[in-house]
Amino acid sequence: MVEDSQDAVFAQAREAFARRGLLRHSLRLCLGERLYSVRCDDDCFSIYRVNEKPFLPPGLPGWMVCRLSAGECFSLDQDEKACALPQTPEQLAQARAWLELVLKSLPAQEP
């Protein structure tokens, strides 16, 4: 099996969001039992965990769980625990897992 490059995974994210008409739009998605803010544009694909505690303002504070661009790859694992240092194959594998989870939750393709 050939491993995807960071550029290929980022290109897949951009193409999937563009095909659905969602490029440059922020989305709120429930992934599992957690709420995330997801965005993909020409510069990066990012997933931000929204803090849902009732005594805090909605979405603030929260934290980045995945950020992928042509020159950067950061990702926590699906349990939101730290992974290896940025720019490693483990980080890219986790970023790909996040992307696959998000793509399953996105609205269907635009006609």
The domain segmentation of the chain, as residue ranges, is 6-103
pLDDT tens by residue, 8-52? 999 999 999 999 999 999 999 998 888 999 999 999 999 998 887
Picking from 111, 109, 80, 108, the residue whose alpha carbon sits closest to that of residue 94 is 80
Q: pTM of the full predicted structure?
A: 0.82
Work out the mean pLDDT of the chain and round it to a whole number.
83
| 3 state DSSP class of 71 | coil
Residue-level pLDDT at 98: 92
Would you say residue 81 has pLDDT above 80?
A: no
Residue-level pLDDT at 1: 31
Q: What tokens were used for 26?
A: 């922020």
Question: Contact at 8 Å (CB) between 98 and 77?
Answer: no
